Amino acid sequence: MVFRERAARSFTIGRLSRASRIVSKSASLRASLCLRISSSSGIVPVERQSVIMIRHLLNILFSFLPPSRFFSFRAALLRLAGVEIHPDAKLCGRGWIYGRGRLSIGEGTWLSPGVVFHTHCDADILLGARCDIGHGVEFIPGSHEIGSSHRRAGTGTALPITVGAGCWLGAKSLVLGGVSIGEGAIVAAGSVVTRDVAPNTMVAGVPAVMKKQLS
Protein backbone atom coordinates (compact mmCIF):
# COMPACT_ATOMS: atom_id res chain seq x y z
CA MET A 1 0.00 0.00 0.00
CA VAL A 2 2.82 2.42 0.90
CA PHE A 3 4.58 1.59 -2.37
CA ARG A 4 1.40 2.33 -4.34
CA GLU A 5 0.94 5.68 -2.62
CA ARG A 6 4.55 6.66 -3.30
CA ALA A 7 4.27 5.58 -6.94
CA ALA A 8 1.04 7.57 -7.42
CA ARG A 9 2.60 10.63 -5.80
CA SER A 10 5.70 10.39 -8.00
CA PHE A 11 3.55 10.02 -11.12
CA THR A 12 1.49 13.12 -10.21
CA ILE A 13 4.57 15.24 -9.45
CA GLY A 14 6.20 14.15 -12.72
CA ARG A 15 3.07 15.03 -14.70
CA LEU A 16 2.85 18.47 -13.05
CA SER A 17 6.54 19.09 -13.76
CA ARG A 18 6.09 18.31 -17.46
CA ALA A 19 3.03 20.55 -17.67
CA SER A 20 4.93 23.38 -15.96
CA ARG A 21 7.72 23.13 -18.54
CA ILE A 22 5.15 23.41 -21.34
CA VAL A 23 3.65 26.52 -19.74
CA SER A 24 7.10 28.08 -19.28
CA LYS A 25 7.95 27.52 -22.94
CA SER A 26 4.66 29.13 -23.98
CA ALA A 27 5.41 32.12 -21.73
CA SER A 28 8.82 32.53 -23.38
CA LEU A 29 7.11 32.47 -26.77
CA ARG A 30 4.75 35.22 -25.68
CA ALA A 31 7.60 37.38 -24.43
CA SER A 32 9.95 36.92 -27.38
CA LEU A 33 7.76 36.87 -30.49
CA CYS A 34 6.27 39.95 -32.10
CA LEU A 35 5.29 38.29 -35.37
CA ARG A 36 1.85 38.52 -36.91
CA ILE A 37 -0.14 35.72 -38.47
CA SER A 38 -3.13 35.57 -40.75
CA SER A 39 -6.51 34.41 -39.56
CA SER A 40 -10.06 34.33 -40.89
CA SER A 41 -10.69 37.71 -39.25
CA GLY A 42 -7.50 39.36 -40.53
CA ILE A 43 -4.04 39.81 -38.98
CA VAL A 44 -3.70 38.79 -35.32
CA PRO A 45 -0.59 39.31 -33.15
CA VAL A 46 1.08 36.07 -32.14
CA GLU A 47 1.14 37.38 -28.55
CA ARG A 48 -2.66 37.24 -28.36
CA GLN A 49 -2.71 33.71 -29.66
CA SER A 50 -0.06 32.64 -27.14
CA VAL A 51 -2.05 34.14 -24.24
CA ILE A 52 -5.03 31.99 -25.20
CA MET A 53 -2.81 28.91 -25.47
CA ILE A 54 -1.13 29.54 -22.11
CA ARG A 55 -4.50 29.95 -20.41
CA HIS A 56 -5.76 26.79 -22.06
CA LEU A 57 -2.74 24.83 -20.83
CA LEU A 58 -3.17 26.22 -17.33
CA ASN A 59 -6.83 25.24 -17.27
CA ILE A 60 -5.79 21.68 -18.03
CA LEU A 61 -2.92 21.70 -15.55
CA PHE A 62 -5.10 23.05 -12.71
CA SER A 63 -7.63 20.27 -13.26
CA PHE A 64 -4.97 17.79 -12.06
CA LEU A 65 -4.15 19.71 -8.88
CA PRO A 66 -6.00 19.24 -5.58
CA PRO A 67 -8.69 21.95 -5.55
CA SER A 68 -7.54 23.66 -2.36
CA ARG A 69 -3.75 23.36 -2.62
CA PHE A 70 -0.85 25.03 -4.48
CA PHE A 71 -2.44 28.51 -4.44
CA SER A 72 0.88 30.37 -4.84
CA PHE A 73 1.86 28.05 -7.70
CA ARG A 74 -1.43 28.72 -9.47
CA ALA A 75 -1.12 32.49 -8.99
CA ALA A 76 2.43 32.59 -10.36
CA LEU A 77 1.41 30.70 -13.50
CA LEU A 78 -1.71 32.82 -13.99
CA ARG A 79 0.42 35.97 -13.95
CA LEU A 80 2.42 34.49 -16.84
CA ALA A 81 -0.89 34.26 -18.70
CA GLY A 82 -1.68 37.94 -18.15
CA VAL A 83 -4.08 37.49 -15.22
CA GLU A 84 -3.73 40.22 -12.59
CA ILE A 85 -4.02 38.14 -9.42
CA HIS A 86 -2.87 39.33 -6.01
CA PRO A 87 -0.40 36.99 -4.25
CA ASP A 88 -2.88 36.58 -1.38
CA ALA A 89 -5.80 35.62 -3.64
CA LYS A 90 -6.74 31.95 -3.72
CA LEU A 91 -8.13 30.36 -6.87
CA CYS A 92 -9.25 26.73 -6.56
CA GLY A 93 -9.18 24.40 -9.52
CA ARG A 94 -11.79 22.66 -11.66
CA GLY A 95 -12.90 25.96 -13.23
CA TRP A 96 -11.93 27.60 -16.53
CA ILE A 97 -10.65 30.90 -17.93
CA TYR A 98 -11.77 31.50 -21.51
CA GLY A 99 -10.45 34.15 -23.89
CA ARG A 100 -7.62 36.66 -23.63
CA GLY A 101 -9.42 39.56 -21.94
CA ARG A 102 -8.33 41.37 -18.80
CA LEU A 103 -9.02 39.58 -15.51
CA SER A 104 -8.09 41.16 -12.17
CA ILE A 105 -8.47 39.38 -8.81
CA GLY A 106 -7.92 41.38 -5.62
CA GLU A 107 -6.14 40.72 -2.34
CA GLY A 108 -7.54 37.96 -0.15
CA THR A 109 -10.25 36.96 -2.62
CA TRP A 110 -11.32 33.31 -2.57
CA LEU A 111 -12.56 31.55 -5.71
CA SER A 112 -14.17 28.18 -5.05
CA PRO A 113 -13.87 25.18 -7.37
CA GLY A 114 -15.61 25.46 -10.71
CA VAL A 115 -15.58 29.25 -11.13
CA VAL A 116 -15.66 30.18 -14.84
CA PHE A 117 -14.51 33.44 -16.46
CA HIS A 118 -15.48 34.18 -20.08
CA THR A 119 -12.98 37.00 -20.57
CA HIS A 120 -13.30 39.38 -23.50
CA CYS A 121 -10.69 41.74 -24.94
CA ASP A 122 -13.22 44.61 -24.97
CA ALA A 123 -14.61 44.14 -21.45
CA ASP A 124 -12.64 43.81 -18.21
CA ILE A 125 -13.62 41.52 -15.34
CA LEU A 126 -12.51 43.07 -12.05
CA LEU A 127 -12.88 41.41 -8.64
CA GLY A 128 -12.07 43.49 -5.58
CA ALA A 129 -10.33 42.49 -2.37
CA ARG A 130 -11.71 40.04 0.19
CA CYS A 131 -14.45 38.64 -2.06
CA ASP A 132 -15.78 35.11 -1.69
CA ILE A 133 -16.89 33.52 -4.96
CA GLY A 134 -18.92 30.32 -4.54
CA HIS A 135 -18.79 27.04 -6.43
CA GLY A 136 -19.63 27.20 -10.11
CA VAL A 137 -20.11 30.98 -10.37
CA GLU A 138 -19.81 32.27 -13.94
CA PHE A 139 -18.85 35.71 -15.27
CA ILE A 140 -20.07 36.36 -18.84
CA PRO A 141 -19.39 39.87 -20.23
CA GLY A 142 -20.34 38.99 -23.81
CA SER A 143 -23.81 39.00 -25.35
CA HIS A 144 -25.65 39.97 -28.57
CA GLU A 145 -27.97 42.63 -29.81
CA ILE A 146 -31.41 41.32 -30.77
CA GLY A 147 -31.33 40.54 -34.47
CA SER A 148 -33.97 39.88 -37.06
CA SER A 149 -36.13 36.77 -37.20
CA HIS A 150 -33.54 35.31 -39.57
CA ARG A 151 -31.07 35.18 -36.66
CA ARG A 152 -32.11 36.59 -33.30
CA ALA A 153 -28.60 36.67 -31.84
CA GLY A 154 -27.37 39.71 -33.74
CA THR A 155 -24.18 41.76 -33.46
CA GLY A 156 -21.93 40.69 -30.62
CA THR A 157 -21.47 43.00 -27.64
CA ALA A 158 -19.31 43.00 -24.52
CA LEU A 159 -19.56 45.04 -21.33
CA PRO A 160 -17.30 45.04 -18.24
CA ILE A 161 -18.06 43.36 -14.92
CA THR A 162 -16.97 44.83 -11.60
CA VAL A 163 -17.31 43.21 -8.17
CA GLY A 164 -16.54 45.46 -5.21
CA ALA A 165 -14.52 44.58 -2.14
CA GLY A 166 -15.95 42.21 0.44
CA CYS A 167 -18.70 40.72 -1.72
CA TRP A 168 -20.07 37.19 -1.39
CA LEU A 169 -21.39 35.49 -4.54
CA GLY A 170 -23.31 32.29 -3.83
CA ALA A 171 -22.82 29.03 -5.66
CA LYS A 172 -24.01 28.73 -9.27
CA SER A 173 -24.82 32.42 -9.58
CA LEU A 174 -24.36 34.08 -12.96
CA VAL A 175 -23.06 37.62 -13.51
CA LEU A 176 -23.68 39.19 -16.93
CA GLY A 177 -21.90 42.01 -18.74
CA GLY A 178 -22.45 45.62 -17.74
CA VAL A 179 -22.99 44.75 -14.08
CA SER A 180 -21.33 46.49 -11.15
CA ILE A 181 -21.76 44.83 -7.76
CA GLY A 182 -21.17 47.25 -4.90
CA GLU A 183 -18.92 46.65 -1.93
CA GLY A 184 -20.19 44.32 0.77
CA ALA A 185 -23.05 42.95 -1.32
CA ILE A 186 -24.36 39.38 -1.29
CA VAL A 187 -25.67 37.51 -4.32
CA ALA A 188 -27.74 34.48 -3.31
CA ALA A 189 -26.98 31.06 -4.79
CA GLY A 190 -28.44 30.44 -8.23
CA SER A 191 -29.15 34.10 -8.97
CA VAL A 192 -28.73 35.73 -12.39
CA VAL A 193 -27.36 39.26 -12.00
CA THR A 194 -28.42 41.42 -14.96
CA ARG A 195 -28.15 44.91 -13.45
CA ASP A 196 -26.13 46.81 -10.86
CA VAL A 197 -26.25 45.75 -7.22
CA ALA A 198 -26.08 48.47 -4.56
CA PRO A 199 -23.41 48.25 -1.85
CA ASN A 200 -24.32 46.32 1.31
CA THR A 201 -27.46 44.73 -0.10
CA MET A 202 -28.51 41.13 -0.68
CA VAL A 203 -30.04 40.17 -4.02
CA ALA A 204 -31.61 36.91 -5.17
CA GLY A 205 -33.64 35.46 -8.00
CA VAL A 206 -33.80 35.31 -11.79
CA PRO A 207 -33.24 38.10 -12.53
CA ALA A 208 -31.72 39.11 -9.20
CA VAL A 209 -33.59 41.74 -7.21
CA MET A 210 -32.88 43.30 -3.82
CA LYS A 211 -34.13 41.25 -0.87
CA LYS A 212 -32.45 42.90 2.08
CA GLN A 213 -30.45 45.94 3.14
CA LEU A 214 -27.36 44.89 5.05
CA SER A 215 -25.74 46.79 7.89
Do 177 and 163 meet the contact criterion of CB atoms below 8 Å apart?
Answer: no
* Dist CA 131 CA 124 (whole Å): 17
**154 three-class SS:** strand
Angle, helices 2-32/46-64, rounded to nearest 10 degrees: 170
Is 144 a catalytic site residue? yes
| Sheet of 174-176, strands arranged across | 96-98, 116-118, 138-140, 174-176, 192-193
Active site residue: 86, 118, 144, 150, which one?
144
Active site residues: 144
